[in-house]
Structure 1
Amino acid sequence: MSQILNLFKDERISGVIVLIAVLLALIAANSPAAEIYALIHHTPVHFRFGPLIIDEPLVKWINEGLMVIFFLMIGLEIKQQLLEGHLSTLKQAALPIFAAFGGMMLPASLYVGLAWDDPNALRGWAIPTATDIVLALTVLSLLGSRIPVGLRIFLTALAIFDDLGAIIIISLFYGQTVAATPLIIAGFALLGLLLINRLQIFQPVIYIAIGLVLWIAMHKSGVEASLTGFFIALSIPIHIPKAGASSPLRRTEKKFHIWNVLFVIPLFAFFNAGININQTTDFWPLNSVSLGIIVGLCIGKQVGVFIASRIAVATGLAQLPKNVTWFQLYGVALLSGIGFTMSTFVATLAFPNTDLIVSAKISILLGSVLSATVGVVVIYLSTTKISSK
């Protein structure tokens, strides 16, 4: 069993599962099964407990409910890396911080410039700012031992800070009209998580209970409820003062990793990548949403990451990773334009129940494929030159 679990820790396997889910979704949406796919996609799921009522389509439960586990895993990785990992010192974190900032600002600016005259399209400005950590590392791992360790660490750190930035953007800009009473309840739930963290308590049932209250309160308040996972992750202790006790954070990460890889992300991909190609012919790629996303992912990400990295190193605020060349780092900057999972998630928040979501999703897929293809070629050429010396 442990060998099977270790297999799914390999980014190549995780990425392949996501790609299969995307392919199946595209087939389902463009085949005789399209009506069945749409019916399941929009199936209403009703929950009631006394006066509490939550009535949403199945896809909404997946995007706001199951994705709690996705954000839990992101939060656990960010916390572990910042406290004990490759980002635990400012010097180690400086380069990916600058790179992530540049890789978010420029794509957003390019998108805004292209969509400035369309208020509806303008809501999608954050779509091209995110990097899909699973798929980006999957593509990088295809080159195997040719990749310097420092390059892999840089891409991982860049994607982590990218995800952190995306979480901040979602919480600040993509909520609905905020309801005061549920928001106050959510605040008390957050204080509860902070308290059990300070007391070094790690009883899963307590986290589940408070997390459930927090999720319901955030959902009812209009704040993106899936971010509950991130807040829970930050409250889980990395160590507890007990001799011989294992890390609660690592135990949680180990327990949920397989569910995230095999169930959460593939299910999200399957229910959000099902684009009917015929629906795109009337408005793609000539609208500002599609152009903004493709330009943002394919040009904004690579230029923003690379230029910000050059500035950070030139000013002495950061240094290039050991055994990594600027040509290789440029290849990673290209790979940062792979934005499927988080970009699609932002798109579902930016364009709920509108035709623009179709244009956004197909543009994300195209931009990600182009970024991955060119990035692999550049990194392959750069590592070939090094190995020939």
Structure 2
Amino acid sequence: MEKIRKLFKSDAIGGILIIMACFLALIFKNSPLIDFYDSFVNFKMGMMFGEYSLSLTIHHWANDGLMALFFFYIGLEVKREILVGELSSPSRVALPIIGGLGGIIFPALAFILITWGDSFSMLGWAIPTVSDTALAVGVLLLLGSKIPPSIRIFLLLLAIIDDIAVVIIIAVFYSGDVNFHLLGIAGGLAFIMLILNLLKVNKKIFYIIPAVLMWFCFLKSGVHATLAGILAAVFIPLHPIKGYSMARDLEYKLHDIITFFVMPIFAFSNAGILITPEAISHLSHPVSVAIMVGLLLSKPLGIFIASFATIKFGISKLPVGANYIQFFGLCVLTGIGMSMSLFICEIAYKGTNIFYSAEKLAILIASFVAAVVGFVIMKVGIKYQAERLVSVDNSADDKEKMEEAKMAIEQEKLKEIDIG
């Protein structure tokens, strides 16, 4: 019972729940429970505002509603890190920023090259550029205390750079025809939140109402609704007002909601892939190949090469206590796309089944392989580090023995001189 309690309090639980949700979705979709699964994800829920109504399937609520809440949470985290956290120090952010850019550019280029000539297929170029940090952190925790803390910090900073990049990518490349009237109203609501911040208003309800209305405007404007979450987070007060930091309080309270509800529901509603002979045969389609190459090769290599160059040019240093084997293993773990790659896949191809769900299957396969290979490489890195420490200790012992032998010889010589 104590072990279960510790597990639920650990950082690994988020990744474990996502994996469980994905497996459940696959089981439901490929068993007699398929009708129940389809009925669940396509069940419509909504609300009425006088003459206006909002009705979405659970699948769309997960992608447009719950993910907006997730990005709101991410926005609070990013704001804190930039203003008072790790990202506030230029010397600390050079390695994750440059490495993160390499991890975005390399897989994007690989995807475009592999799918070149097919404009529809090329829409998914951003799928292998994003990582599922919860799962990567979960793998690190399986390795225990033998992994240097600096490795985990680097991964978390890399994740923040990844999140910022995802927001920009969605805003620029994955928004539809824009309704500027609704976007203008959203801008007005954002301005109201800014005024509230400047006036040091510290009642959550005054921020929640305009934030929800802003989300609704984004949802209907053609700009992806998740961006409302990020924008709303910008205006939540971080610095304490009368001893109370609203941003820190919301971040703390949302943590469990995101971990135990938002991400599992999102994963369950998006990972239901019908594994058919057609889906398996389409794993050789350029889109599926581009996803697997991007996640398993291009993203890890992009991060490693960019980071290695940054270190060699003296701009930054390798995380303290880590060796290059461990660092490369960490880079491989960033190939775990899972929930975030599924999200980009959904908005890039707008839920079409033209690839027989092979693209989602490719994401799951690549993520699983990245987790296993990354884990093995990091184990090798740990073993190498341990052997090296033993070698250093032995060489230190040898030096000490040599010094003792020299001292003994000198003492014998002195005795001979005394006797003479």
Q: TM-score, normalised by structure 2?
A: 0.88
Question: Shift of residue 353 of structure 1?
Answer: 3.3
**1:363 aligned residue:** 362
Give distance in 2, aligned partners of 1:199 and 1:375.
Answer: 49
Amino acid of the residue matched to residue 318 of structure 2?
A: L
Shift of 1:354: 1.1
1:299 to 273, 297, 322: 297
CA contact (8 A) 1:347 1:357 kept: no
User: How far did 1:78 drift?
Assistant: 1.3
How well do the aligned residues superpose, as a CA RMSD in angstroms? Answer: 1.8
Matching residue within 309, 318, 321 for 2:319: 321
- Measured after TM superposition, the shift of residue 282 of structure 1 is 6.3
C-alpha contact 2:202 2:241 (8 A) present in aligned 1? no
> 2:17·2:260 contact (CA, 8 Å) conserved in 1?
yes
Inter-partner Cα distance in structure 1 for 2:336 and 2:125: 16
Distance 1:270 1:14 in 2: 14
Distance 2:278 2:333 in 1: 26
Give distance in 1, aligned partners of 2:208 and 2:8.
Answer: 25
CA distance in 1, matches of 2:5, 2:120: 44
Give the Cα–Cα distance (whole angstroms) in 1 for the partners of residues 297 and 323 of structure 2.
20
- How far does the alpha carbon of each residue in 1:36-69 deviate from its partner, in whole angstroms, 9 at most, with x for none? 2112211233433134333332210111111222
- For 1:282 and 1:22, the matched residues in 2 are separated by 18
SS in 2 for 1:252: helix
Structure 2 CA distance for aligned equivalents of residues 279 and 41 of structure 1: 24
Alignment of 1:103-252 (within 5 A): 103-242=103-242, 245-252=243-250
- Counterpart Cα distance in 1 of 2:200 and 2:9: 28
Cα deviations across residues 129-186 of structure 1 (Å, max 9, x unaligned)?
0011111111111101011011110111111111110111011111111112111111
Q: What SS is found at the alignment partner of 1:16? A: helix
Q: Give 1:316-355 correspondences, 5 Å limit.
A: 316-355=314-353
Post-superposition CA distance 1:340-385 (Å, at most 9, x none):
1211111110111311371221111111111111111111111111
Instruction: Name which of structure 1's ranges 53-62 and 326-335 shifts more when overlaid on structure 2.
Output: 53-62
Task: Kindly tell me the number of residue pairs found equivalent between the two proteins.
Answer: 385
Alpha-carbon deviations, 1:182-239, whole Å to 9, x = none?
Answer: 1111111122222222223221111110111101110110111122222222222221
**Which amino acid in structure 2 is aligned with residue 202 of structure 1?**
N
| Equivalent residues of 2:279, 2:357 under 8 A apart | no
Structure 2 counterpart of 1:297, one-letter code: L
**Gap change, CA 1:5 and 1:77, over 3 Å in 2:** farther
Report sequence identity in percent. Answer: 38
Q: Provide structure 2 residue ranges, at least 5 long, that are not aligned to the other structure.
A: 390-420
Q: What amino acid maps onto 1:255 in structure 2?
A: K
Give the aligned residue type for 2:18. V
Q: Aligned AA for 2:385?
A: I
Instruction: After TM superposition, list the pairs within 5 Å mapping 1:70-109 onto structure 2.
Output: 70-109=70-109
Amino acid of the structure 1 residue aligned with 2:295:
L
Return the letter of the residue paired with 1:259.
I
Letter in 2 for 1:347: C
* Contact kept in structure 2, 1:8 and 1:261, CA below 8 Å: no
Aligned counterparts of 1:357 and 1:66: Cα–Cα separation in 2 = 26
TM-score (norm 1): 0.95
Native 8 Å contact 2:283 2:359 kept in 1: no
The answer on 1:58 being equivalent to 2:58 is yes
Aligned counterparts of 2:173 and 2:9: Cα–Cα separation in 1:
33
DSSP 3-state at the match of 1:202 = coil
Residue 7 of structure 1 deviates from its aligned partner by: 5.5
In structure 2, C-alpha distance between the alignment counterparts of 1:296 and 1:288, rounded to whole Å: 12
The structure with the largest alpha-carbon Rg is 2
SS at match of 2:114: helix
Provide closer, same or farther for how the CA distance between residues 282 and 204 of structure 1 changes in structure 2, counting only shifts above 3 A: same
Distance 1:5 1:67, change over 3 A: farther
- SS in structure 1 at match of 2:55: strand
State yes or no: 1:287 paired with 2:285.
yes
**Higher RCO, 1 or 2 (CA under 8 Å, sep at least 6)?**
1
Q: 1:362 to 1:223 in 2, by over 3 A?
A: same
Q: Distance in 2 between matches of 1:69 and 1:320?
A: 34
38-47 or 21-30: which moved more?
A: 38-47
Alignment-derived partner of residue 254 in structure 1: 252
Q: CA deviation at 1:121?
A: 0.8
**Offset at 1:105?**
0.4
Deviation at 1:4, TM superposition (A): 9.5
Which letter does structure 2 place at the counterpart of 1:148?
P
Contact 1:200-1:240 at 8 Å conserved across structures: no
